Structure 1
Amino acid sequence: MTATPGAVGIVLLYPDLLGTYGDSGNATILAQRLRWRGREAEVVTVLSGDPVPESADVYVVGGGEDLPQALAARQLGAGSGNGPLHRAVEGGAAVLAVCAGLQILGTSFVGPDGTRADGLGLLDCVSVQGRGRRAVGELVVEPDPGLDVPVLTGYENHGGVTTLGPGARPAGRVRSGVGNGDGVDGALHGRIVGTYLHGPVLARNPGLADRLLSSVVGPLEALDDADSDVLRAERLAVAASQASPAGPAGRRRRLLARARR
């Protein structure tokens, strides 16, 4: 199935495998922001085992657990360098990849049996299993200047650590939270944006949605995003509270430290 001629085609990839954290909503946000501007948009949902159209404008890949992540990677041609998503990117498509999606687009990640699994190689990054506690909580990211968007907020829930190679740059610097595990979050290359931000990320950060869209359709008129601005301010306050020694998370840390003495 392909998008209607004349409409901006948005492909939601494998929500039956990679839909654990509500990331499918990112496709809805992209389409709706185009429709609010009077532009035609169509979301094409591709389930596991279905053929992936190669001529769409934007592809959305979400988060999921280890086994579905590995299945999705194999179906997208991991290790071959010539799968349908590779050809779509070569044709100028934009991609948003979240959490497991970010890891799949890298060169390798940890498979369900704990061993190395091939990724698609569309992003120069490697993901391994972290040795510390799972990263769970609010994530605030100071975006890469090239994105030209406000501070990004979202929710992370992952056990992986991602290291970037020279062929990718981070989506931004972590202000609060964990992200990749080394002070930055995600990966950027061309029209590909990878991140650990859930939320869904585009509902919480409409500027990033417009950045993805404008990369394939050109400049977009501004929209009234006052509601999203209020949500961002609220989430930033929550993240600051969690990071503060006087906040709930800080109080929990002090109590745990006392209990260990």
Structure 2
Amino acid sequence: MDPAVLREDMVDGLEQSLGERLDERVDVAMRTVPRHEFVDDQPYANRDATENGSRVLAPSTVARLLSALDTTGGENVLVVGAGVGYTAAVVAELVGESNVQAIDISRRMVLYARQRLAQTGYEGVLVDCRDGASGYPEYAPFDRVLLEAAAIRPPRSLVDQLAPSGRLVFPMGGPKQTLVAVEPGPEAAGPDGVVERYGPVQFAPMLVDGEQPDGLARNRTVREDREYAESGWHARAGWEQEWVDWDEHL
């Protein structure tokens, strides 16, 4: 069947599954982005999927995130957790591709997202390999930050990189999580700067450098991780056996 028809059917069904009307701009953006270019297996089914070893959010979840993000057009946006690039592409439709920066802790996913975004016409979206907890200070301040991973409280670096009128949207809590919007400044309405809550969600926790599945084995010190990386393929024999397991010494 024509992907455009399937895409129309997908978005038409989202209002029924969410029980409310979609934000008009989000509705149009999701009807525009060819999701089948990012997801190979049943791309227009309203369910989570796995692509290139990464979780791809269900369309209804993406719609909830972007409605909470509350863009009006032209904002500078950071997407933390680029994944396959689909959410970043929809954000690009909302604010313009040159206004979207996306980061992911997995270099494999960064390369995958860059490829998919380029082949679908969103090559203006910048995708970089970064630790999401540190944000992307080179391009701050951001009018909007979307974190596609759960955290117990708003990551301080991400809040600090918001513009004065900015907004951070992320799943807060663990294991029970709530989708929240956070704004900076003393005028914020609730604890941790939470200004709005959008109901329960379930996301994987945010990873920090060393926890990504395609990265180096994590030990207790940054120095050791760096030494292991610098040892390369020609590390001297027995190096691995000299690795310090700090758990045995605590």
* TM-score w.r.t. length of structure 2: 0.31
Q: Which has the higher helix share?
A: 2
- Please tell me whether Structure 1 or Structure 2 has the larger radius of gyration of its CA atoms: 2
* TM-score w.r.t. length of structure 1: 0.30
